[in-house]
Amino acid sequence: MASFSAEDEISLQSMVRQLLQSVKEKLSSAPSAECAEEVLLHLEETDEHFHNYELVKYLRHYIKSSLGSVIDDETERCSFAQSQVEGSGYDTLVQRVTKRTRESKDYTFMNQEQLQLIAEQLDPSQPEEVRKEAMQTLCSAPPSDVLNCECWSVLHKNLTAALADPDSTFTERILRFFAKTFSSSPLNMAREVYTSLAKHLESSFVSSHKPILLTGVDINNPEVVRMLKKIRLLNDYQKEVPSFWIRHPEKYMEEIIESTLSLLSVTQESSSQMLLDPVFYLSMVDTKAVWFKKWMHAYYSRTVVLRLLEKRYKSLIIAAIEQCFSYYESSQSGADENTKTASSLPYPGIKQKTFYSRKELQYLYFVHSLNVLGRLLIYKHGRKLFPIKLKNRKESVSLCDLVVLFTHIMLYCRNGQKRTLGAYAGNDYKIMVHQNCDECTLTFLADILARIASSEAGISLFLYGEKTDSTKDSTAAAHVIAQFSKKLLSDDITILTESDLLPVVKGSFLFVCRQMYHTCEGLQVLAPYQLHVCIAGAWRKESLLDSLLNFASTPRGLLLLQQTGVINECIHFMFSRFTKTLQVNRSEKFGYDALVTQVAATAPGAVALQKSGFIQAFVSELWAALECARDDVRVIHPKPTPVDPIDRSCQKSFLALVNLLSSFHAVYELLGKQHLPSKNEYSLREVPTSFVDVFDRLVIVNSVAKMNSLFNYDQSHIFGLRLLNVLCCNLDTLLLLESQYKVCEMLFNAQGENITDSSTGSQNIIIDGLSVERNHILVRMNVIGGPCERFLPPRVMLQTNDPYPWPMFSSYPLPKCYIPEVTGTADPKQDHELLRFLSFGGTDQKVTWLDNCKRIFCNTIKTKPGVLRGSVYGELLEKFITHTYDIPSNCVFERSEYKERSIGAALVKSWRRACKVRIRGTSSLPVLAERSARDG
């Protein structure tokens, strides 16, 4: 290859460059040059595209062309010579290669005798060279064979004892064997190695050789390096083992957790000097306590950790809290010194540190403790560990005390961090930190406030403070938050005016206000600040529109939203998020469905919903669920026949329409003064786009064309009748539908089409799901009143010979079985003033009797409301009407002169329909029936 030409060298350089470019990410992630070399050596094993690189192809071709013939000749010569000299029964070439491979160091299988010999050679009484050679041999053996051998107990004991050997090379080989065991052995084997390593570290710290921390720690010190390697090996396994220990018995996990907590609980006792405990080393290796976060993530391991902390190792929590108090107190007493200390910590772009001062180690331990305590506070059972009694404090530390401590630390560290970072990276970085640090702090603070305000107790705390005296509004947190939010919207805070994060800060604090003003009390407190006007006039982008939209969660807030004139924009924004199926914020108590119901309760809100596309989206979703199958369902799996009147796949659409049409205002805006688009022919692909179309296709099914246009006629029509049944519960909606579309007449006609003539001449109605639904709706629409004034027939059939024993209502008059009998007799057991007054048929003047009746009735309602029952009301109504009937009308109503135009004026259709319904309903009362009979 030394005779390469210049062109060959250029080509080879490009191939090498291509290979290095392909493995650039793997090389850059390697922590050292040795690791990068290992990556290149094992590239064929780890890179699936290895044989596609041009350099590999070139080298393979070069080797084959240069040495291929020589290898073939030599192989053939050796095979022929061996077969001639040693005979055909001797080793073949393949056997020789296999033997050579099996005897190599990389392919070692050890029997029990060899492992027993290694265990004896690792005894501390053996010479150093013998132990090193035995350890080297052991590292080449598979860990599973070593852990399953008969002499593992002796071997384990000698390995643990050898960890204290002063020779760093020897101990490093043991750590490599342990690391190999962690990566390739199951938990039941690896936990023995882990617990032995943890116990070794614990014994080394408990011994009299515990290092004393005077000025700091030099990580180039061989003793410190050895200790850091052992702690890091433990920490790496701590972070990996939670992913698979759930597949093993709990006792294995408990052994690992308990050995770890026992190691970390080793602390200094009574000493004037600061000792370097295991937790300091762990803080240097894992400052943010990632191991504890992973252990606390799953309930399976979290219960064990919290149980051990509560029963045996509460000293760990005590030490963490004391460290936080110590850091806060030292920060208050020496701010300048702490700032100087913190400024020496390494940051990105700074050369790696080799010496950590005492202050820096204290700070690392503080950060580690902060993460551990923060993880405990997240979970309910972790908070149950408090209050905790500290050694140097009289009172126990409660949860509230700990949160206050964290708040004080956060307030202190803000300015120090700005000076610290600014001292490192020059003026540019300092300016950037000064611009963004306050904004980030405000954002985090707003997030904390929003979480507090997500509960009723938190909102009460913001609105009224800790005291019950609600007259001191100036001291309540809600006023401070509202004033600050208003200043943010008005750009009155000059420090934040030019910040790029100002919109984020605005949205964060407005979200806190949203948590308060979606309640009536919060809206009342925040109303004087006119936040809705400020939001509407400040910035109409998405985050503020979302904040403005939440005014719609209360009726008065919806009114304020309409007065700002941006209700259409807010509803359009809500619809855009609805179509993207975005979740509402984690602190919200309800989603956009509740807001749609609230907005649709007013006429402007219903119009805005229709303009935004909400109605069309609901209708399209309904039609897809009701009449169309899912697109991802294969044809060979037909849609199952629904068992319930409204299939589960359509329930969501049904509830959406019911919520939307829960008020008369929404129904009037969507149906009022609109004709049904009835057609002679409907296409099967014709999809409704409005609620009028849905009402025409699913409710008013009065033609064969509409029946044929539905794929699932029974299910779809029952859906429409159920929707009509809900709408008719509102009397205004009932009158509108009846006067505009004559719904009763349509239902009567449909019932008439189900009548069959029998041979005896009697007429019977075919009983099916549709006729039962229509019968229920007709009774509901024609008998107005509560449960004591009418009997509604059920909408289900019985599994008997007579599936529906209730009479069908297909024409007037209404069957009497649906109207209860109102009796006017009083209960003789009820002895009170009102009943005695009604029983006494006095001869007083009619007007005087009415006045006395009103007085006694009001007095009875105030003093004894429980004695008034239905029978008493019936008798009271009858007596009252009897006495009122004899009073001249001019004593009650003033006479008025009617003009001819007034007399001839026509009533509105809905009014006329209301009069007919009321007359038909009251005509069935026994009081009027008796009066008409007496007058007749």
569-611 pLDDT, tens digit per residue, is 777 777 776 776 555 554 444 456 677 777 888 888 888 888 8
Q: Compute the average pLDDT of residues 71-91.
A: 61
Q: Which of 514, 654, 519 is nearest to 593 (CA)?
A: 654
Q: Cβ distance 131 to 170 under 8 Å? A: yes
Q: Is the preceding peptide bond at 828 cis, omega within 30 degrees of 0?
A: no
Q: Cβ distance 397 to 390 under 8 Å? A: yes
- Distance, CA of 442 to CA of 505 (rounded, Å): 7
- Looking at residue 573, its pLDDT comes to 72
Share of the chain above pLDDT 70, in %: 74
Residue 370 has pLDDT above 90, yes or no: yes
Least confident of 126-130, 499-503, 589-593, 756-760: 589-593
Q: Compute the average pLDDT of residues 869-878.
A: 77
Least confident of 191-200, 398-407, 823-832: 823-832
- Looking at residue 904, its pLDDT comes to 45
- Distance, CA of 730 to CA of 748 (rounded, Å): 21
Query: 736: how many CB neighbours lie within 10 A of its CB?
Result: 22
- Please report the sign of the dihedral spanned by the C-alpha atoms of residue 206, residue 212, residue 217, residue 222: negative
250-264 vs 299-311: helix axis angle to the nearest 10? 50
Q: Which of 543, 489, 477 is nearest to 516 (CA)?
A: 477
Contacts of 256 (CB under 8 A, 6+ apart): 191, 194, 195, 241, 245
Residues composing the chain = 936
Q: Compute the average pLDDT of residues 720-730.
A: 90
Residue 311 has pLDDT above 90, yes or no: yes
- Distance, CA of 117 to CA of 330 (rounded, Å): 57
Most confidently modeled range among 346-360, 391-405, 501-515, 908-922: 391-405
Contacts of 503 (CB under 8 A, 6+ apart): 539, 541, 543
Which amino acid is residue 324, in one-letter code? C
- Distance, CA of 118 to CA of 145 (rounded, Å): 13
Q: Cβ distance 315 to 369 under 8 Å? A: no
Residue 475 has pLDDT above 80, yes or no: no
Q: Name the H helices within 42-151.
A: 43-46, 54-85, 93-102, 112-121, 128-139, 143-147
- Looking at residue 435, its pLDDT comes to 47
- Looking at residue 423, its pLDDT comes to 38
Residue 216 has pLDDT above 50, yes or no: yes
- Looking at residue 54, its pLDDT comes to 84
Least confident of 134-148, 196-210, 267-281, 546-560: 546-560
Which amino acid is residue 808, in one-letter code? M
- Looking at residue 868, its pLDDT comes to 74
Residue 806's pLDDT band (cuts 50, 70, 90) = confident
**Integer angstrom CA distances of residue 153 from 31, 112, 120, 200:** 35, 13, 12, 16
Residue 352's pLDDT band (cuts 50, 70, 90) = low
- DSSP state string for 803-831: S--SPP--SSSPPGGGS-----PPPTT--
Contacts of 16 (CB under 8 A, 6+ apart): 55
Output 592 or 701, whichever has higher pLDDT: 701
Residue 146's pLDDT band (cuts 50, 70, 90) = confident
Residue 903's pLDDT band (cuts 50, 70, 90) = very low
Residue 323's pLDDT band (cuts 50, 70, 90) = very high
Q: Compute the average pLDDT of residues 79-100.
A: 56
- Distance, CA of 827 to CA of 835 (rounded, Å): 9
The H or E element spanning position 265 is none
- Distance, CA of 915 to CA of 84 (rounded, Å): 124
SS3 428: helix
Least confident of 132-141, 598-607, 758-767: 758-767
- Looking at residue 212, its pLDDT comes to 62
Contacts of 73 (CB under 8 A, 6+ apart): none
**CA–CA–CA angle 70, 75, 76 (5° rounding):** 100
- Looking at residue 888, its pLDDT comes to 67
Output 64 or 414, whichever has higher pLDDT: 64
Residue 440 has pLDDT above 70, yes or no: yes
Q: Compute the average pLDDT of residues 244-254.
A: 91
The residue whose two tokens read 């993530």 is: 297
Share of the chain above pLDDT 90, in %: 13
Q: Cβ distance 237 to 259 under 8 Å? A: no
Residue 936's pLDDT band (cuts 50, 70, 90) = very low
Residue 344 has pLDDT above 50, yes or no: no
Q: Compute the average pLDDT of residues 432-460.
A: 76
SS3 212: strand
- DSSP state string for 720-748: HHHHHHHHTTSHHHHHHHHHHH-HHHHHH
pLDDT tens digits, residue range 612-657?
888 888 888 888 888 875 544 444 455 666 666 777 778 888 888 8
Residue 234 has pLDDT above 90, yes or no: yes
pLDDT tens digits, residue range 518-557?
788 888 888 888 776 777 665 445 454 555 556 666 666 6
β-bridge pairing 763-765 and 355-357: unpaired
How high does pLDDT run on average in the chain? Answer: 76
